[in-house]
Amino acid sequence: MKPAEVDYVRAETVEHALALLAETGVDSKVLAGGQSLMPLLAMRLAGPERLIDIGRVPGLDRLEIVGDRLVIGALVRHHRVATDPLVARAAPLLAAAAPHVAHPAIRNRGTFGGSLSHADPASEFPACALALGADIVLVSAAGRRTVPAETFFEGLYQTALGPDELLLEVSIPVATPDARFAFVEFARRSGDYALAGLAAAARADGDRLADLRLAFFGIGDVPVLAAEAAAILASGPHAETAIAAAVATLDAIEVRDSAAAGAAYRRHLARVALRRAARALARPEAAACR
């Protein structure tokens, strides 16, 4: 359970990291907090030739509001997402989801950008990014581009990140005063990988919900938006009949079998998550629920 032989370079700046990533002929992997990558190296599930450590690159840990967007730098750690008042105000869904990410010592090291680039199907932040309509900013020696969360997650541990690209930061619309959210996760034990979970974001519009986005995680290869269920829930005032109809649409969503839990059980958990989230979203104080 030790990493194989590997080269290691500490990037001093973003430009330095990009120059290293632009070198062809060497299989490089970006190392940030390392809380997902190190286990993969130890178990020899990943075997890059070179690690490019961006852990001390200045500027990558910015966390600030720019206009009407919350900008989260790649190196912002989960502990900060969980505890910074700025996140609680501007993206309360993220603050509610953060305590579900692994355990305290992991949250002290793990990074927001790392979580999105690793794209574990059971992880919380990719689904939150999808629910919140996040833009993901990628940069390479050739320039920068912005990829919406909808198209960033391409498959199991697969993202739109090219081999020469670095995830620079994530930009999220700042929560408005009428914003509502719900976060539900099922795991066998606290801190374990999610068996199923749901990140939901909306705006209150009178007694209705507007801009409702329901992002499930842990059930497929990538986080998935349940658009049909969201349309039903947003079509009228809160009603148990609407919730039942929305839950029924989940039958059409593909759910993956895994060693941890069968597809039927995961689908059941997804239904329960949607019921809980829908009821929570109907309350003005809508917040996280387990």
Partner 1 sequence: MPMIPITCTINGETVEATVSTRDTLADLLRDTLGLTATHVGCEHGVCGACTILFDGRTARACLVLAAQADGAEIETLEGATASGRIAALQKAFHDHAALQCGFCTPGMLLAAAEFLEDHPAPSRAEIREALSGNLCRCTGYQAIVDAVAAVAKGTEP
Closest distance of CB 60 from partner 1, Å:
15
Q: Which helix (H) or strand (E) holds 80?
A: helix 78-83
**6 near partner 1, judged by CB under 8 A:** yes
Within residues 54-73, the interface with partner 1 by CB under 8 A covers: 55-56
Residue type for 23, please?
E
Closest distance of CB 187 from partner 1, Å:
10
DSSP 8-state class, residue 268? H
**276 near partner 1, judged by CB under 8 A:** no
The structure tokens listed for 75 are 């190196």
**34 near partner 1, judged by CB under 8 A:** yes
- Kindly indicate which of the ranges 37-45, 124-132, 237-245, 248-256 contains the residues binding partner 1, using the contact rule CB under 8 A: 37-45
Q: How far apart are CA 213 and CA 225, in angstroms?
A: 7
Closest distance of CB 57 from partner 1, Å:
13
**289 near partner 1, judged by CB under 8 A:** no
- The beta strand positions in the chain, using DSSP E, are 7-10, 28-31, 50-53, 63-66, 69-73, 135-140, 143-148, 153-155, 158-159, 166-173, 179-187, 194-205, 208-217, 224-225
**38 near partner 1, judged by CB under 8 A:** yes
Residue 208, phi then psi, degrees to nearest 5: -115, 170
Considering only 69, 160, 191, 228, the residue that binds partner 1 (CB under 8 A) is 191
Q: How far apart are CA 241 and CA 166, in angstroms?
A: 46
Residue type for 269, please?
L
Residue 25, phi then psi, degrees to nearest 5: 85, 0
Nearest to 57 by CA among 41, 70, 74, 72: 74
**141 near partner 1, judged by CB under 8 A:** no
Considering only 26, 65, 105, 244, the residue that binds partner 1 (CB under 8 A) is 105
- Residue placing its CB nearer to partner 1 in the complex, 37 or 175: 37
Closest distance of CB 276 from partner 1, Å:
19
Within residues 70-99, the interface with partner 1 by CB under 8 A covers: 79
Q: How far apart are CA 154 and CA 222, in angstroms?
A: 7
Binding residue count for partner 1, defined by CB under 8 A: 31
**5 near partner 1, judged by CB under 8 A:** yes
Considering only 22, 53, 258, 279, the residue that binds partner 1 (CB under 8 A) is 53
Binding site for partner 1 (CB under 8 A): 1-8, 10, 31, 34-35, 38-39, 42-43, 51, 53, 55-56, 79, 102-106, 108-109, 189-191
